[in-house]
Amino acid sequence: MRDFDTAWQRTQFQGGWAGINWPTEFGGRGLSLLQQVIWYEEYATLGLPGIDSCFVGNNHAGPTLIARGTEDHKATHLRPILQGDVVWAQGFSEPEAGSDLASLQTRAEIDGDELVVTGQKVWTSYADVADLQELLVRTNRDAPKHKGITWVICDMHSPGIEIRPLGTIDGERHFAEVFYDEVRIPLTNVVGAIDDGWSVAMSTLSFERGTAFTASQTKLHETVERLMALARERHLDDDELGRRLAVARAEVAALRAMTYLGVSRNARQPMPGPEGSIVKLFYAELSQRVYALALDVLGADALRTDLGLATDWHHDYLEAYSYSIGGGTSEIMRNIIGERLLGLPR
């Protein structure tokens, strides 16, 4: 999986199609987010492979380093992401810090010019194949919980790291728990300041909720069209399914318009705001409706996972359950929208 993903990333880079809206000095094309979205639309139309293990580098760590990293961080890390030389993983959630991320307990002590990290992370996709990790650690246990966190680049090949893969409901094993036992990380790997990692993490998440899923949002349109084709192949003439397919087309059109509105906002205000949570929430719930509809179109074949269809509807249906959980649950998205956009009390 890693080999395929990185080779495909390299192929795109060599063709000039990686980091379309990244600065040219770091290997990008220096073009607009709108031009990046045009690429995503063409990409989705052609049904090209998912980004998978290259997601965190391209859509999380890269944009975060561009926004908050030092010149040295950018020079060291950005081009290798685009060239497919490295795989990044995320290290935010912990067993006791899920939606309440700021309660994270993985500890880091400063020892000379290094941080010494001990603790545990969970839900880390592609940890077993990753080279680097965006890691949140607690550097100050006396400060209020949001004030004692540091965002640091962790080398996943360091001594003291143990990875235990976790199976997920879609049959994949990309998830993992990661354990840290006195893992030593140079202080120069800290992004932002010591104890200021919460604001860096919030910029990472604003990219995740704002622009990281632009490709997926674009792809959902193609998914609905493939579902229409499936319904036609199966000669479905059913009012209820027809109505749901038409509503899916209308809603996926609106998702595309919302993506464009987000791109327009991004052009005026480069750091995505809480509006990104609206698109993330809408996308998650619309995806789940679309894939549930796919299984209804399959009818009794919804029970058969051995059909070898061109689209693995069963896998995609099950995977979509993660969309309203990962990157902030839909409940947390609703709190953010209610409190920050509508001014409702906490």
Partner 1 sequence: MDLLPTSEQEEIVSSVATLLAAQLPITRVRELHAEPAGVDESVWAACAAQGWFGLGLAEAEGGVGYGLAEEALLFREIGRHLAPGPMLSTVLGARVATGDQRAAILDGAVRVALVERRADGGADVHGHVGAELALVVTDAGADLVALGDVPGLTAVECIDPGTRLAVVARFDATPVATSGEPILARGAVLAAAMAAGVAEATRDLSAEHARTRVQFGNPIGVNQAIKHSCTDMAVRCEAATSQVLLAALTVEAGLPDAAYQASAAKVVATDAAMRNARATIQVHGGMGFTWEHDAHLHLKRAHVLEIILGDRRHHLAGLLEA
**Which CB sits closer to partner 1, 31 or 166?**
31
Is 105 a binding residue for partner 1 by CB under 8 A? The answer is no
Which CB, 87 or 231, lies closer to partner 1? 231
> Dihedral of the CA atoms 19, 23, 75, 6 (nearest 10)?
10
Least distance to partner 1, CB of residue 198, Å: 23
193 binds partner 1 (CB under 8 A): no
Residues 37 and 259: beta-carbon distance below 8 Å: yes
Among 251, 301, 316, 319, binds partner 1 (CB under 8 A): 251
Q: Which stretches of the chain are DSSP H helices?
A: 2-14, 33-45, 55-56, 62-68, 71-83, 197-210, 214-233, 239-268, 275-298, 313-319, 330-336
List 80, 98, 165, 338, residue binding partner 1 (CB under 8 A): 338
Nearest CB to partner 1, comparing residues 153 and 263 = 263
| Catalytic choice (41, 96, 177, 208) | 208
Whole-angstrom Cα distance, residue 93 to residue 176? 11
Q: Please, which residues bridge with residue 159 across strands?
A: none
Distances (CA, A) of 181 to 117, 120, 166, 174, 218: 7, 9, 20, 22, 41
State how far the Cα of 122 lies from the Cα of 93, in Å rounded to an integer.
6
Angle at 26 between CA 25 and CA 31, to 5 degrees: 75
Tell me: does residue 229 bind partner 1 (CB under 8 A).
Answer: no
The single residue among 127, 215, 278, 298 that binds partner 1, judged by CB under 8 A, is 278
Which residue stretch of 72-80, 142-150, 215-223, 265-273 sits at the interface with partner 1 (rule: CB under 8 A)? Answer: 265-273
Nearest approach, Cβ of residue 235 and partner 1 (Å): 15
Pick one of 229, 264, 304, 309: the residue that binds partner 1 (CB under 8 A). 264
For position 232 contacting partner 1 by CB under 8 A, the verdict is: no
Q: Is 32 a binder of partner 1 (CB under 8 A)?
A: no
Q: Which stretch binds partner 1 (CB under 8 A): 9-17, 185-193, 275-283, 289-297?
A: 275-283
Residue 345 lies near partner 1 (rule: CB under 8 A):
yes
Q: Is 141 in the site for partner 1 (CB under 8 A)?
A: no
Q: Look at the block and give the residue holding tokens 């680049």.
A: 153
Cβ(88)–Cβ(130) below 8 Å: yes
Please name the helix (run of DSSP H) or strand (run of DSSP E) that holds residue 97, with its range, or none: none
- Binding of partner 1 at residue 343 (CB under 8 A)? yes
Residue 40 binds partner 1 (CB under 8 A): no
CA angle in degrees (0–180, nearest 5) for 35-324-331: 115
Residue 229 tokens read as 């084709």
Q: How far is the CB of 259 from partner 1 (least distance, A)?
A: 8
Can residue 129 be called a binding residue for partner 1 (CB under 8 A)? no
* C-beta of 110 vs 254, nearer to partner 1: 254
Minimal distance, residue 298 CB to partner 1, in Å? 19
Q: Which helix (DSSP H) or strand (DSSP E) does residue 60 occupy? A: none
Burial class, 315, CB count within 10 angstroms (exposed 0-12 / middle 13-18 / buried 19+): middle
β-strand pairing of 88-91 with 132-138: parallel
Residue 271 binds to partner 1 (criterion: CB under 8 A)? no
16 belongs to the binding site for partner 1 (CB under 8 A): no
Q: Is 191 or 255 the residue whose CB approaches partner 1 more closely?
A: 255
Say how many CA atoms lie within 13 Å of 101 toward its Cβ: 21
Would you call 208 a catalytic residue per the annotation? yes
Contacts with partner 1, residue ranges (CB under 8 A) = 34, 242-243, 245-247, 249-251, 253-258, 260-261, 263-265, 267-268, 275, 278-279, 281-282, 331, 334-335, 337-339, 341-346
Query: Which residues carry out catalysis?
Result: 208
